[in-house]
Chain A
């Protein structure tokens, strides 16, 4: 797989590409709206994609499909050039899109992501911890994702990697709910962050959990917007597995989630768990840098 990246301070700097089809989700903030607008200006046909975790169901343009067979949802997109608008899609949605498109024979696709200029900091956060961000309304239990489900038992060795973002409580929940040994869990931080100083939010918010749970796995750093680096790190960790299985918890930045999704759709024997947070409306403010990733399977 090759991953090429281009970035710009605004959409005007993303140039030279048009697509036949756009796949996008629901915009919940200004950058999502801007990203969909940009995508639709550069592609005549757009498709709305939504994953319902409680039913393991995906809905494309109002039609329901099983999570097992995302390729059925994309059958009509064969031999097209396709953009996945990832700003408005969740991690599982991106994974299912990539898997489905790859399975219908798509060999190259584009993924768009727009950074936020700032994250919403609620008043409540000051009460608990100044660095807390409240990015999710409600979370579900961590569950496996069909296609990359692995069984965790006491007698099976697992290497775990958590890609970490600002929400330390998600790491705590991941450890609590899966019963994963904190000592064997590696961590990937997004450094450099989208903005200087934001990495401190990720460190501090996760540090309480890392220290409290005595996490002793390796720590990796890759740029918060760097899909390729996230993918490469996961590949390296995967290659270092001998008898162990790899389990990924992509609870970090969206580009890291994209890197994990690309890795997982190529490695079905690697597992993933995700908590499908319901994102808070208007959780970010304004649009930051724009990134376009070109993927060759």
Chain B
């Protein structure tokens, strides 16, 4: 039997839904927005959009019959048969071979329809079998045993017999089909089933034969739709357009996943008219992601048998508990618990952490001295470095670099602060408020200590930005910093260890980027270049524009190239960047521009802010250099920005950010 610690590691290492198996019921937490999606009652197709790790596949698997009629469910209502989900992740390496190879396109279209019919028919039969052995009283094992499929011989002479025989024949047909696809010139072409028509016939036959299935509706959930070939998408788009009970097609995809919205007929599919689009990430972020993520963590810990979680995790799989879970008294239990487990530091705490570290204190003093020296100041460092006001002392290192501020002015404000009088540090001018985090990150830049800014449950939620996989990895790596006894007792993780974990998790996710599709390597390079640019921006001595972590293209000689737009779409598809619309009025004309935000999960790696504060304005040429430019071109771009920002560039080496050694540990 596994120890709790082993279970803990196993539960958290299985961070992809695919690794949990078909029945995810006991691993699932009903999202807090679930009741807004009307998934169980809708009679029109749904398009679920979201990036990697936002829980698309988990939701689809929860909606599938494997989970709806899970052995883990002690009671299943009769009306569960009104929504029978069929999960379908198409094997894309196989589907990709179903193309060209000297065969006309109409043959491949028929073949794909046949493929769809075989796989989904087998699922439909399996679904009814699962219902029969579940606690749902609608279908009994006897109903299935007495069922004959002879009527379907109209489609294929081999079909007939009982459910077992029919299922086996479907499997045989799939083997034959697979052999044909592998060798289309050497194996004779099978007789193709007419796709949806066959499925409708099968469903109709089941309903006629088992009267209890009269109210049954089958909902196909096609996952990773974006990986399908153009003609395959067109076939499924057609299925969507013509969806009606008892067979509805739904799809899930990453952003920009449609290669086409055409159908095999003259009309394309349209949002609202033919389907309704749900952006899962938006829903997650708008529906108290922190509480939801705490619930998911609680369930994982509970499944691993680690610690005592403060909530009853058995209700998390049930949509009926949503109202309870949204109640204030429930949230008041969950939030303090998780904030205690992953405590963060206030700004005072962050400043105190600096002053408890001799090296950082020395670095701060050196910077203040250097600023005084650079501008010919004669005042003693003690005028500005005042340990009794740690936040002000940290910020002052940047203020002293601002030419429009005189040393006298800054000293005067410091004295006012010391005297407890109104001052620009804490007053409306907001010197501390506006500059503290930027100055803190600058101080930790290239420092061996981990910046504790990247600690605390709330920060983890911001770093994850709706991505549960990222959130769980941050928690898992943090807990892993602790001893076995501490993990099992769920002892609070000190901020510095959380910050270390955040850096490790961030490095792991950076290293995953090359696996992101056909542009994986280029996306990796782009993130590295962009992160390096933002890291440089954080090193600006005056911190006049602190916390720059997104960019916008504000000028350029021509419009952005198509290949650049395609690349940015791919970057958005894989969630390495996010795009937000920004509307400005220029010369009485409304102009829509976009801000591109680096995924905050990468911020601990680059030691940059995770907050969307200020943007770096790029020209179209700058952006193209970052995306398509050579190493030397990108390096020169960094050098140019470095010069304009007054960043110390005396090392002469590359300005790219690196943590190469760390990734080898």
Contacts and interface: CB of A to CB of B under 8 A. Distances in A.
Interface of A: 55-57, 66-69, 122-124, 126-131, 134, 136, 138-154, 168-169, 172-173, 175-179, 181-183, 204, 208-209, 212, 214, 268, 273
Interface centre among A168, A173, A181 (most CB of B within 10 A): A173
Contacts of B184: 68, 146
A199 B14 CA distance: 29
Nearest to B224: A179
Contacts of A140: 518
B156 interface: no
A157 to B, nearest CB: 13
B183 A179 contact: no
A242 B97 CA distance: 26
A57 B103 CA distance: 12
Contacts of B383: none
B649 interface: no
B618 interface: no
Interface string B84-100: 00000101111011011
Interface stretch (B333-341, B369-377, B519-527): B519-527
Interface stretch (B138-146, B344-352, B652-660): B652-660
User: Most chain-A Cβ atoms within 10 A of its Cβ — which of B89, B94, B516?
Assistant: B94
B96 A151 contact: no
A66 B96 contact: no
A79 B94 CA distance: 35
B113 interface: no
B178 A149 contact: yes
Contacts of B657: 127
Contacts of B654: 123, 126-127
A139 B99 CA distance: 19
B100 A173 contact: no
A146 B658 contact: no
A151 B114 CA distance: 14
A67 to B, nearest CB: 6
A150 B511 contact: no
Of the listed residues A66, A127, A176, A177, the one surrounded by the most CB atoms of chain B closer than 10 A to its CB is A127
9 contacts: A56-B101, A126-B658, A138-B521, A141-B92, A149-B181, A151-B181, A172-B512, A172-B515, A173-B514
B311 interface: no
A114 B184 CA distance: 35
A144 B179 CA distance: 13
Given A66-B185, A127-B658, A134-B521, A122 B631 contact: yes
Contacts of A154: 22
B182 A149 contact: yes
B430 interface: no
B658 A152 contact: no
B121 to A, nearest CB: 13
A204 to B, nearest CB: 6
Contact of B663 (A122, A169, A177, A208): A208
Nearest to A211: B508
Contact of A143 (B18, B93, B517, B520): B93
Contacts of B92: 141, 143, 177-178
Contacts of A175: 515
A142 B93 contact: yes
A273 B515 CA distance: 16
A273 B664 contact: no
A141 to B, nearest CB: 6
A68 B186 contact: yes
Contacts of A138: 518, 521
Given A68-B185, A126-B658, A212 B102 contact: no
B528 interface: yes
Interface residues of B, number: 49
A248 to B, nearest CB: 12
A65 B454 CA distance: 58
B444 to A, nearest CB: 20
Given A124-B631, A127-B660, A150 B94 contact: yes
Contacts, number: 140
Contacts of B524: 128, 169
B250 interface: no
A141 B512 contact: no
Given A122-B631, A146-B182, A151-B174, A68 B94 contact: no
A127 B102 contact: no
B466 to A, nearest CB: 20
A66 B102 contact: yes
Given A143-B93, A168-B514, 17 more contacts: A56-B99, A66-B102, A68-B183, A69-B185, A127-B528, A127-B657, A139-B520, A139-B521, A143-B92, A144-B94, A144-B96, A146-B101, A147-B183, A149-B97, A149-B181, A177-B227, A181-B19
Contact of A212 (B178, B508, B656, B658): B508
Contacts of A214: 13-14
Contact of A148 (B182, B515, B520, B664): B182
Contacts of B89: 179
Nearest to B517: A141
Contact of A152 (B93, B512, B516): B93
Contacts of A183: 19
Contact of B119 (A127, A131, A153, A173): A153
A142 B663 CA distance: 26
Please name the 10 residue pairs, one residue from A and one from B, whose CB atoms are nearest each other, closest first: A169-B514, A172-B515, A68-B185, A149-B182, A143-B96, A66-B102, A144-B97, A214-B13, A56-B101, A152-B91
B660 A128 contact: yes
Interface in B199-243: 227
A268 B182 contact: yes
B518 A139 contact: yes
B634 to A, nearest CB: 9
B525 A56 contact: no
Interface in B623-665: 631, 654, 656-658, 660-661, 663-664
Contacts of B656: 127
A67 B101 contact: yes
B227 A141 contact: yes
A169 B520 contact: yes
Contacts of B664: 129-131, 204
Given A150-B94, A151-B94, A152-B94, A56 B100 contact: yes
Contacts of A136: 521
A247 B532 CA distance: 40
A82 B532 CA distance: 53
Contacts of B520: 139, 169, 173
A130 B658 CA distance: 10
Contacts of B14: 214
Interface string B143-183: 00000000000000000000000000000001000100111
Contacts of B100: 55-57
Given A127-B658, A176-B515, A146 B97 contact: yes
